[in-house]
């Protein structure tokens, strides 16, 4: 394994009891990724509860999770194949813990959607798939699990595959692979199944190895949201992470929202001399003029600069436990920008599982609903459409110190 190959982060999602934790256990087991004492701990904990060894306990580590046999919160863990290393993000399948699922999925580069072939597409299958689409996760592997329960039937596989494909198409997800699997018995996970000779596609491990790491935004026009300003000796260092493009010494840049022009005088990294910083880098710059700068400003350059506006259209996913009434003020956070805003109009209120429109021009959003909304911010913010630049096209809404919704910008 080459050390410069990046670990790939993927999330496993799907309806409760469709086999997420069993699949994870199987992946660990078949790739020999378990430490001896970890396995001992799981065996002992299973025995204490009078059960067979539960693979699920590898990630379900909270006492409540083990006793009740559910996953409450997302967890992350590691395994590797011959090709590369992986971070598995486990996500709970219960309706009550959708916000934990979103937390997990938002950190992934790819997703595995698991469906019990005997039960077909269920409420959380659809909701989770919609969340993947909303988060912009384009690499999706669909696993039809529990093939052993349907006698490894090709017809049953094809039937559920068609059902899943139809739904995924409606939310613009084109899955890369559909794989018939029995996670509990190990069919088509690491080893090709002897029970399904009719299937000539990839195993789960092979399909994971076929995924790509997320491409960096390095080739786009430069964007650096200002995170903080430090006074170090005589220097005023503007600290932040480059979210797109490359910032170089001597480059002419614009500061939003003021629109002031300046030039990058130097790139500042501790004990390191460099003339440029690229997308993904936490860095610092100084400017050639004493331009006014503060946290939340956006430094940019070149074509396709962010749009400065106080109103835009977005899709939001409401995950707080309380309803949201559209008269309430709420705080919007996009990159390092933070500003009070109002939802001017809830154009449509939708069920996040069926995607049915519940109401048009609604006054309220309820937990786990999706709203197509018009947002009005108190002052102008620098944003882009999610499809153009994710980092300036997504935001959260915060009320009473809590993140209540995630949103993506569809029109500016």
For residues 48 and 325, which CB has a smaller minimum distance to other proteins in the complex?
48
- Candidates 151, 129, 36; CA nearest to 355 is 129
For residues 192 and 248, which CB has a smaller minimum distance to other proteins in the complex?
248
Q: What angle is formed at CA 297 by the lines to CA 292 and CA 301, rounded to 5 degrees?
A: 95
Least distance in angstroms from the C-beta of 403 to other proteins: 5
Least distance in angstroms from the C-beta of 205 to other proteins: 20
368 phi-psi bin (left φ>0, alpha ψ -120 to 50, beta other): left
Query: How many CB atoms are closer than 10 A to CB 41?
Result: 14
Residues that bind other proteins (CB under 8 A): 3-7, 35-38, 44-45, 48, 58-59, 61-64, 72-78, 87, 99-100, 102-103, 106-107, 216, 227-228, 230, 232, 237, 239, 241, 268-271, 278, 280-282, 284, 295, 319, 333, 394-396, 398, 401-403, 406
Q: In the numeric block, which tokens belong to residue 63?
A: 């006492």
For residues 160 and 242, which CB has a smaller minimum distance to other proteins in the complex?
242
Least distance in angstroms from the C-beta of 198 to other proteins: 38
Least distance in angstroms from the C-beta of 376 to other proteins: 20
Beta strand 110-116 pairing with 140-145: parallel
For residues 75 and 173, which CB has a smaller minimum distance to other proteins in the complex?
75
For residues 32 and 411, which CB has a smaller minimum distance to other proteins in the complex?
32
Residue found by looking up tokens 């882009």 in the block = 384
Identify the helix (H) or strand (E) that includes residue 124. helix 123-134
Least distance in angstroms from the C-beta of 56 to other proteins: 12
For residues 20 and 146, which CB has a smaller minimum distance to other proteins in the complex?
20
d(CA 137, CA 109): 7
Cβ-contact 94, 14 below 8 angstroms: no
For residues 59 and 382, which CB has a smaller minimum distance to other proteins in the complex?
59
Specify the DSSP class assigned to residue 148: G
- Candidates 96, 194, 215; CA nearest to 148 is 194
Whole-angstrom CA distances from 180 to 29, 148, 150, 368 are 19, 10, 11, 30
Least distance in angstroms from the C-beta of 192 to other proteins: 27
Least distance in angstroms from the C-beta of 67 to other proteins: 10
């Amino acid at each position: 394994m080459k050390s410069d190959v990046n670990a790939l982060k993927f999330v496993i999602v799907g309806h409760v009891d469709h086999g997420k934790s069993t699949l994870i256990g199987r992946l660990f087991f078949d790739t020999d990724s378990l430490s001896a004492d970890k396995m001992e701990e799981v065996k002992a904990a299973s025995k204490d509860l009078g059960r067979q060894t539960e693979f699920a306990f590898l990630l379900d580590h909270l006492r409540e999770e083990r006793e009740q046999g559910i996953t409450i919160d997302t967890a992350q863990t590691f395994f590797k194949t011959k090709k590369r290393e992986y971070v598995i993000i486990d996500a709970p399948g219960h309706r009550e813990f959708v916000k934990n699922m979103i937390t997990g999925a938002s950190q992934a580069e790819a997703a595995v959607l698991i469906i019990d072939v005997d039960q077909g597409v269920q409420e959380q299958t659809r909701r989770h798939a919609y969340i993947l689409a909303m988060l912009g996760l384009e690499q999706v592997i669909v696993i039809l699990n529990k093939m052993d329960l349907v006698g490894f039937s090709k017809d049953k596989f094809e039937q559920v595959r068609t059902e899943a494909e139809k739904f995924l198409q409606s939310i613009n997800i084109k899955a890369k692979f559909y794989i018939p699997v029995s996670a509990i018995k190990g069919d088509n996970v690491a080893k090709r199944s002897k029970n399904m000779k009719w299937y000539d596609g990839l195993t789960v491990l092979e399909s994971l190895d076929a995924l790509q790491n997320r491409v960096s935004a390095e080739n786009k026009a430069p964007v650096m949201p200002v995170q903080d300003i430090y006074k170090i000796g005589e220097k005023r260092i503007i600290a932040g992470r480059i979210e797109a493009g490359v910032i170089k010494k001597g480059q002419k840049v614009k500061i939003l929202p003021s629109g002031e022009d300046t030039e990058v005088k130097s790139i500042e990294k501790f004990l390191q001399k460099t003339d440029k910083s690229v997308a993904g880098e936490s860095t610092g710059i100084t400017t050639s003029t004493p331009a006014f700068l503060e946290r939340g400003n956006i430094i940019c350059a070149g074509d396709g600069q962010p749009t400065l506006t106080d109103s835009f259209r977005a899709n939001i996913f409401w995950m707080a436990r309380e309803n949201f009434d559209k008269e309430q003020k709420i705080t919007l956070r996009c990159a390092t920008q933070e500003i009070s805003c109002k939802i001017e109009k809830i154009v449509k209120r939708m069920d996040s599982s069926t995607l049915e429109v519940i109401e048009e021009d609604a006054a309220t959003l309820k937990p786990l609903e999706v709203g197509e909304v018009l947002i009005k911010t108190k002052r102008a913010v620098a944003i882009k459409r999610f499809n153009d630049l994710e980092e300036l096209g997504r935001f959260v809404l915060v009320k009473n110190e809590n993140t209540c919704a995630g949103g993506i910008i569809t029109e500016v």
